[in-house]
Amino acid sequence: MPLRVNHNITAITARRALGVNSRTLSTRIERLATGLRINRAADDAAGLAISEGMRAEIGGLVQAVRNAEQATNLTQVAEGALNEVSAMLIRMRELAVQAASSTVNDQNRSNMQAEFSQLISEIDRIAQATAYNDTTLLTGFGNTVSASQSTALTTSPTTGVKDVTLSGAQAGIYAFLDTNVNDNQITLGNGVVTQTIDIGQILDHDAVGGVVATGTTAVANFDRLGILVTLDGRFRDGDLDNATLQIDAGTGGSFQVGPDNKVVDRIQFSLDDMRASGTQLNLNVTSIATLFNARSSIPTLDLAISRVASERAEIGAIQNRLSFTISSANNAIENIQASESSIRDADMAEEISEFTRAQILTQAATAVLAQANAIPQSALSLLQ
């Protein structure tokens, strides 16, 4: 081989090998530091695409488990309230049986009727107050506002109604009464219950004459009706007169317990209207003030107790179903995570072996490069 001083081919070869070994060493250090075989798409393009899809599915399943747990909590709230309703119904039946006997007189029955009426009112109150995340559960779970049939919404550019939120409102048509301009009074009712609120008390401090300040909103809380109306800067006092809200009876809700937008990834759930005055219990017509009424109330109370028990049984069944759903999702998370790990995680034993190999080769290449750089110096001996 000729002796050259202009280009040291041996040193160039050693330098190239050193560069390859250094890159390999750097890759092994990165994998050992992160614990991942794939740190960027260049490491394994196909593997990255597959593992990212798995990660998305795992994330969806983790959230689905949380959803199922929260759904269980929701049903527990409803079941706990119905437990108290059942206890009150049993007490009401005891009063009815007591009043159905001739051993008590009408004055006694009148005293019993006082407790009986209070229990009916309390059942109604519990049904309207039982809520989860501001959603009332026992007055017809899943009632919705019809956006197309509610004139307060279809004409929102002139009414200023930005949004309507339900907190236990019954199905039906609700009409606004807002005839007097600038009196700050708005009335809403469904023909049975009406409520008037002073809009001036909820407006911004800068609002004048029943006007919501531009860029702000005001919430009119018709709490007796279970309706919250959000008004924006387009609202002027008097604009809501004769506007209506139509609330449709819901068929319940659905719990997202899977990672995808599929029917099989959702569980449908409904709760009946369990108010004492509702169609299920129908207790507002019962009385124990007379012997005849007391005896007539017993079958009605038996039916109410049976319906509450059936509703609780449905809730118990959905709770058991949700527990199995959670177990199944957790099992899927474990197995998919194992698959994702096999694609993306580094084999530490292999990486340590390759790291050691790359480290030795890098050190050897460095030593060889030093020797190769010294070869041209031998040409100086020929000049002496």
In 3D, which of 135, 120, 132, 128 has the Cα closest to residue 281? 120
Q: What pLDDT score does 160 carry?
A: 84
In 3D, which of 174, 89, 143 has the Cα closest to residue 273? 143
Of 100-104, 110-114, 174-178, give the lowest mean pLDDT range.
174-178
* pLDDT tier for residue 318 given thresholds of 50, 70 and 90: very high
In angstroms, the CA 75 to CA 314 distance is: 10
Provide the whole-model pTM: 0.70
What is the percentage of the chain residues whose pLDDT exceeds 70? 93
91 or 6, higher pLDDT: 91
Could you give the C-alpha distances from 180 to 156, 194, 380, 382, in angstroms and in order? Answer: 19, 17, 111, 116
Average confidence score pLDDT of the chain = 85
Q: What are phi and psi of 267, to 5 degrees?
A: -115, 120
* pLDDT tier for residue 363 given thresholds of 50, 70 and 90: confident
Q: Would you identify the CATH topology of the domain 54-141+253-336?
A: f41 fragment of flagellin, N-terminal domain (1.20.1330)
75 or 2, higher pLDDT: 75
For residue 384, pLDDT over 70 is answered with: no
In angstroms, the CA 296 to CA 286 distance is: 8
Of 120-134, 149-163, 190-204, give the lowest mean pLDDT range.
190-204
* pLDDT tier for residue 1 given thresholds of 50, 70 and 90: low
The domains of the chain are located at 54-141+253-336, 144-248
* pLDDT tier for residue 315 given thresholds of 50, 70 and 90: very high
For residue 72, pLDDT over 80 is answered with: yes
* pLDDT tier for residue 184 given thresholds of 50, 70 and 90: confident
Q: What pLDDT score does 74 carry?
A: 93
Mean pLDDT of 60-66: 95
Q: Which single residue is written with the structure tokens 């010294």? A: 374
Structural contact between residues 220 and 199, judged by C-beta atoms closer than 8 angstroms: yes
Look at residue 222 and give its three-state secondary structure. strand
Mean pLDDT of 125-143: 84
In angstroms, the CA 127 to CA 192 distance is: 18
How distant is the alpha carbon of residue 125 from its chain centre? 26
Could you give the C-alpha distances from 169 to 176, 225, 332, in angstroms and in order? Answer: 15, 6, 40
Q: What pLDDT score does 377 carry?
A: 75
Of 121-125, 281-285, 306-310, give the lowest mean pLDDT range.
281-285
Strand pairing of 161-166 and 172-177? unpaired
Of 1-5, 85-89, 251-255, 314-318, give the lowest mean pLDDT range.
1-5
Q: What pLDDT score does 334 carry?
A: 94
- Burial code (b: 16+ CB inside 10 Å, e: under 16) for 1-23 equals eeeeeeebebbeebbebbeebee
Please give the DSSP secondary-structure letter assigned to residue 63: H
In angstroms, the CA 145 to CA 121 distance is: 27
> Please, which residues have CB within 8 angstroms of residue 248's CB and are 6 or more apart in sequence?
143, 144, 145, 146, 171
Amino acid present at 374: A
What tokens does 10 get? Answer: 């041996």
In 3D, which of 165, 69, 158, 168 has the Cα closest to residue 125? 168
In angstroms, the CA 77 to CA 138 distance is: 10
For 21-57, write each residue's pLDDT tens digit. 888 888 888 888 888 888 888 888 898 899 999 999 9
Q: What pLDDT score does 205 carry?
A: 46
How distant is the alpha carbon of residue 140 from its chain centre? 19
- Burial code (b: 16+ CB inside 10 Å, e: under 16) for 194-219 equals eeebebbebbeeebeebbbeeeebbe
Point out which residues pair with 349 in neighbouring strands: none
* pLDDT tier for residue 301 given thresholds of 50, 70 and 90: very high
Mean pLDDT of 236-262: 83
Of 11-15, 84-88, 241-245, give the lowest mean pLDDT range.
11-15
For residue 206, pLDDT over 60 is answered with: no
